[in-house]
Every structure is written in structure tokens, then in C-alpha cells.
Structure 1
Amino acid sequence: MFILSKFVLSHLVVANSLQSYTPPCHDDEISALLQFKQSFVINMSASSYEGAYPKISSWKSNNNCCSWDGIECDEETHHVIGLASCLYGSINSNNTIFHLVHLESLNLADNHFDFSQIPHTIRNFPKLRYLNLYFSMLSGQVPSEV
């Protein structure tokens, strides 16, 4: 009975560790996300919603970006396909976020982009299916291609 219980326990531990495994994301996407993080000020007042927080503050270079708060990755390709955070600062067309060409969902709502122009490179996401710019403190027109 003791041996059987040890066997079952070891299988439960292995099964649990497999469930929590998150495949690694791509190095170029990690780099783009970390540079994106550096372009903003971590400021709790960037959002008007109680309980909102800057998700990028938890992003670390030694971790798998697919497990970062506010990041969604494709389960098969491990490319970053979704991004949401609470940010403060300006955003422009040279921002490294536009290197994430596999994005399908971009939620920039409830950020404070300091009334910077909507970057024209926002149209460069060929797989983008969801874009939320609500209350993001951006100015200008959304490119017609979007």
C-alpha cells in the first residue's frame, strides 16, 4: 500500500507540473516587449479604474513572456497574440510593440498615452482582429486600413 501511494503521489506531482508548464515565447518578442516596457513610466494613476495596475511592472527578462501578466500567446506557435496593460507615456510609430506582427488582440484601453497621435503603424498588424483604444488618451484618426 505504501509503494502504491508513493507511485500515485509521484504521478500527481508530474501531472500538476505539466499543467502549469507554459511553452517559451520567441526571443525577438521578449526583446520587443521589454523595450516596449522601457518606453513607459510605471504609474498607478495611468488608469481611472480602481484596481487597475500596470501589468508591465511584473515583466522580467528571465521569465517566459507567455506567462507575463497581460500577455497572451498562441498555444501552438508560442507567438505573442494578445497584449493589454495599464500604461503612462507617449507612443509613436517607432515603438517596439509594432514588431509583434502576430498580434491578434491589442487592448490599449484605459491607458494614458499623453495625447500622442495614434501611430500609423497600428495598421501593420496583419492578424489583428480586436483593437480597443477606449479611454487611452490618444489623439488623431485611426488609420482607415484598421
Structure 2
Amino acid sequence: MRLSQCLFLLLIFFFKGCNTTNTSLEPCYCHDEESSALLQFMQSFTINASASGLVGAYPKVSSWKPAQGGNNTCCCAWDGVECDEETGHVIGLNLRSSCLYGSINSNSSLFRLSHLQRLNLANNHFNYSQNPTSIRNFPRLTLLDLSASVFSGRVPSELSQN
């Protein structure tokens, strides 16, 4: 085979590889109602660097963007959000040290994430909010971290009954 033929074949393989879509990427199955709940939750807070005093703290929710102009954004790809690969339901939310400042009450959109298994809100400033009793809306919850998050009141008894 001549050099020109080899180069031609090499170019064909190169361009074919560049023009095909990556089939190994999983499609996003983020549920609209969960994406909406996350965006509402994010909008209920202000971002304040002093709300998370740890080195490396940054507002993870700043990567959360609503769909615009027909372009879907996948909440499963948002920083701090973990989804079940089969169902697309949000099962983990890690907003540790995310500079969140504000209050959480029992009707927060957060509590619409009924498939949540892990919730980490540590090292934020929730402005002495009462520990919400709506935590019972998470029957699958196996991990909860609210440390250094400026809550007040007793831990709901529902948490100790699992």
C-alpha cells in the first residue's frame, strides 16, 4: 500500500471518529418535577461566601441552570446532584459547603425529592431554621448530614426510627 493510500485511510478513520456521537454517554432521564424542585430550592437561598467558612467552599448551585429555548439541561449533571442511572430520580444531594444562606421550612421544594437516599447540607447557614419535620418525606434516606449548618430545635424523631 502506498503512503498516499495509508494517509487517505487514516484521514477517513479520523473524520469518521470525529463525526460520530459518543454512544457511551448515557442519556439524561432527569425528571422535570425533580429538576423544578431543585431550581426552586436553589432560588430560596442567597449565595454568601461567609455562610460556608471552610477552605474550598463554593456555590455548587451556581452550575444549576433551567432549560432554555428547547435545550434540555440535565439536573443529573448538576454539581452536587446524583441520580439513579436506571430511573433518573434524584437520589443524592451533596451541597456541603455551598455558601447557602437562608431558611428551610417544612414546605420547601426540597421535600418533593421523595427518592432521596443521601442528603448533605453541612456547613451552610440556614439562619436558625427549625429542623424540618418534613424530613419524613424521605423514606429511603440512609445518610443525612446537617452539621455546622445553623439549624435550631430538636432533631425530628422520624430520623431515629429507621
Alignment TM-score, normalising by the size of structure 1 = 0.90
Match of 1:79 in 2: 89
User: Are 1:7 and 2:13 an aligned pair?
Assistant: yes
AA matched with 1:7? F
Aligned residues: 145
Cα distance change on mapping 1:19 and 1:50 into 2, 3 Å: farther
Match of 1:124 in 2: 137
Question: Which of the pair has more CA radius of gyration?
Answer: 2
C-alpha separation in 2, matches of 1:129 and 1:13: 43
Mapped contact 2:131–2:152 kept (Cα < 8 A): yes
Match of 2:103 in 1: 90
Alignment TM-score, normalising by the size of structure 2 = 0.82
Cα distance change on mapping 1:110 and 1:4 into 2, 3 Å: same
Correspondence 1:1-146 to 2 at 5 A: 1=6, 2-7=8-13, 10-11=16-17, 14=20, 17-62=22-67, 63-85=73-95, 86=98, 87-146=100-159
Quote how far apart the aligned CAs of 1:28 are: 0.3
Where 1:145 maps in the other structure, the secondary structure is helix
Query: What is the RMSD computed on CA atoms of the aligned residues?
Result: 1.8
C-alpha separation in 1, matches of 2:119 and 2:18: 37
Structure 1 segments, 4+ long, off by >3 Å, are: 11-15, 18-22
Could you give the per-residue CA deviations for residues 38-61 of structure 1, whole angstroms, max 9, x where no partner exists?
Answer: 100011221010111111122100
Could you give the per-residue CA deviations for residues 76-132 of structure 1, whole angstroms, max 9, x where no partner exists?
Answer: 111111112221111000100000001010001011001110000012101111100
Mapped contact 1:22–1:67 kept (Cα < 8 A): no
AA matched with 1:26? H
AA matched with 1:72? E
AA matched with 2:33? D
Percent of residue pairs identical = 57
Q: Unpaired segments of 5 or more residues in structure 2?
A: 1-5, 68-72
